[in-house]
Structure 1
Amino acid sequence: MFKFVLVLCFLVAVHGHGMVMDPVNRASRWRVDSSAPANYDDNQLWCGGAGALVSNGRKCGMCGDNFANPTPRMHELGGRYGQGVIVKSYRQGANIPITVRISANHRGYFQFRMCNLDRYGSESDACYDNILLLTSTGEDRHPIASHLGNHELVLRLPSGVTCKHCVLQWTYYAANTGENYRTCSDISIN
């Protein structure tokens, strides 16, 4: 009986965690580029947590930080990890492979947006709201399977959009915790 209660208590304390690994997000770039600052909490960009999300009116920082933090937030351009290093280049209209690593799963779905900095000049919610990316099958949401580890999917880049600097924003809407996770990856499209 004691072992069961101990395991149950542990399960209640676990939070869903995730991050985009391809194209590598700003917080995780240190894992593939030794010149990037290390962020050992790179799978915990959860908008400050469920409590902060509620107190902030369900608003999240553009790249996963607590919305209440001063700008630029740590993972936004100008912040400690928002260095603007292009990690991958693509062709306009291409289907691109995406890898998301989930270390604790709470089901739900992923959604991807893109900010064209060449057009907007800076990151903003309006810039991200302008381009909602679809999967290769035309869906605007990717339901998450129940397994841990890498989740592979394919996104379709919009035709007619090119940029020297775009930002791919991933949001994981966790189904049973009310939490959101978010990362940003700096890319180019030609």
Structure 2
Amino acid sequence: MYFSIPKNLDFSVILPILLLLFVSDVLGHGRMLDPQIRIPPGDQNNGFTLSNGPTRVEPCAGNPQGPVLSNFQSGQVIPIKWKITAAHKGNCSLQLSTNGQDSNFQELKFFPNCADTTGDFSDTVKLPDGVSCQHGTIRWVWNALLTNELYLDCADVSIGNGGNSGDTTPVTTSAASVTSAPTTTLLTATSSATATPGIVGKRQESDRRKMKMIRMKRRKP
């Protein structure tokens, strides 16, 4: 299919319109607000267009580690805030990695139906007792079922061990894969941070089955 472009077309008028359409397509999703997330260069001045968008790049949407922006203590109850600007059916998970390598993520809390409506949302999460790190990662994962999109935000944090931040106790984990990338299991709040394998994997498998059923219903006349 071929079409001709009028010679008198004013690109100075058309280009801003195209840019607005592009930005509106990238915007309108969701991201974690607190703890403060890693932000790609220039993204903050551009309305968090990249942080809001879906990704397939794990573990942290391609954003490398940055400086620690939030400091906590083991066993502390911390606030979690997130923003949804376009509602998509799906579930969210808050996860923790303490090895300084953005891997071996542990689930701290599961948020079912976290994005059914738009707006700003908040909750609290208790960090596990006896677990500390000088440079860890708190990751917010949103699985949008209907659109089959994955949203990832990561925050660089430190967790002190009862005021003695010099000692670090990484979370130990048994292998339970979420995807082909990072390993994720359910954290239990004990001093040894014992992991319960398979919880997150089962949830994601359940989500995939739900999404498949929804698509099959949509195809029926």
TM-score under structure 1 normalisation? 0.62
**Match for residue 144 of structure 2?**
174
Query: Which structure 1 segments of 5+ residues have no match?
Result: 1-12, 29-36, 49-59, 65-72, 78-83, 135-139
Contact 2:55-2:152 within 8 A present in 1 as well: yes
Query: Which structure 2 segments of 5+ residues have no match?
Result: 1-24, 161-221
- CA deviations 1:101-130 (Å, max 9, x no partner) are 11111021110111113xxx4223xx22xx
**Match for residue 107 of structure 2?**
132
Do the aligned partners of residues 142 and 155 (structure 1) sit closer, same or farther apart at CA in structure 2, a change above 3 Å counting?
farther
3-state secondary structure, aligned to 1:42: helix
**How many correspondences in the alignment?**
132
Do the aligned partners of residues 142 and 86 (structure 1) sit closer, same or farther apart at CA in structure 2, a change above 3 Å counting?
farther
Query: Would you say 1:24 and 2:16 are equivalent positions?
Result: no
- CA deviations 1:20-51 (Å, max 9, x no partner) are 111111027xxxxxxxx321323334114xxx
Contact 2:90-2:113 within 8 A present in 1 as well: yes
Flag as ranges the 4+ runs of structure 1 deviating above 3 A. Answer: 13-16, 42-45
**Match for residue 46 of structure 1?**
54
> Who wins on radius of gyration, i.e. which is larger?
2
Query: Aligned partners of 1:18 and 1:184: how far apart in 2?
Result: 13
TM-score under structure 2 normalisation? 0.54
Do the aligned partners of residues 96 and 142 (structure 1) sit closer, same or farther apart at CA in structure 2, a change above 3 Å counting?
farther
**What is the alpha-carbon root mean square deviation over aligned residues?**
2.2
Query: Aligned partners of 1:14 and 1:107: how far apart in 2?
Result: 18
Query: Aligned partners of 1:113 and 1:25: how far apart in 2?
Result: 13
Contact 1:17-1:102 within 8 A present in 2 as well: yes
